[in-house]
Chain A
Amino acid sequence: AQTVTQSQPEMSVQEAETVTLSCTYDTSESDYYLFWYKQPPSRQMILVIRQEAYKQQNATENRFSVNFQKAAKSFSLKISDSQLGDAAMYFCAYWSYSTLTFGKGTMLLVSP
């Protein structure tokens, strides 16, 4: 079974600074997708960024980018120019064969 591990229960960053959230996963599959979801206090799950395993190029969405290391099974999220609105729980997730497996999440605190 696939597992997703987020080793940082909580991270802090100041506005305008950069923060990196870590995620590792375990799988025997070669084709899969990886995601970062954001869950603000409203509890609504919002997709932040997606990475296809067959793509070597790291995905980027505005201030959000990933460092995907397939051999190491590592998938970290970098948030540049952090904003107060980035404060939320962030979940790393793995997709294969129609099901998503989530990590336990990292709470990101953003201070002015």
Chain B
Amino acid sequence: SQTIHQWPATLVQPVGSPLSLECTVEGTSNPNLYWYRQAAGRGLQLLFYSVGIGQISSEVPQNLSASRPQDRQFILSSKKLLLSDSGFYLCAWSVSSGEYNEQFFGPGTRLTVL
């Protein structure tokens, strides 16, 4: 069966510090991968998605970036965090073939920028 992992589970970082959140998927090959952010009182906002190694699409311009160094690894990064980067970050995956495939979400990372 497929599983998706995210770490860390919680993170408290000062403004201006770097960020690296990791997401890995097990039990599947060549998945589509997604990064979402959920700010307080709001829905999920798609930040990035990837259909393959090194292929990243950005949905929202900001100081965050994403990378996919391996087939089942998706990393969200920032060189300098802003207060507005606080939120709950969710990684998701879906099967890459077919017209539509359900997205499966990871447990999330709660980021607090102080």
Please report A residues at the B interface, Cβ cutoff 8 Å. 4, 6, 33, 42-45, 47, 50, 91, 93, 95, 98-105
Contacts and interface: CB of A to CB of B under 8 A. Distances in A.
Contact of A91 (B32, B44, B59, B110): B44
A100 to B, nearest CB: 6
Given A99-B46, A100-B103, A102-B44, 13 more contacts: A6-B43, A43-B88, A43-B107, A43-B108, A45-B44, A45-B90, A45-B92, A47-B102, A91-B43, A98-B32, A99-B59, A100-B34, A104-B43
Contacts of B32: 98
Interface in B2-53: 32, 34, 41-46, 49, 51
Contact of B43 (A4, A33, A44, A50): A4
Main secondary structure of the interface of B (DSSP, over half): strand
Contacts of B108: 43-44
A93 B45 CA distance: 11
Given A43-B107, A45-B90, A98-B32, A50 B102 contact: yes
Given A43-B107, A47-B102, A105 B59 contact: no
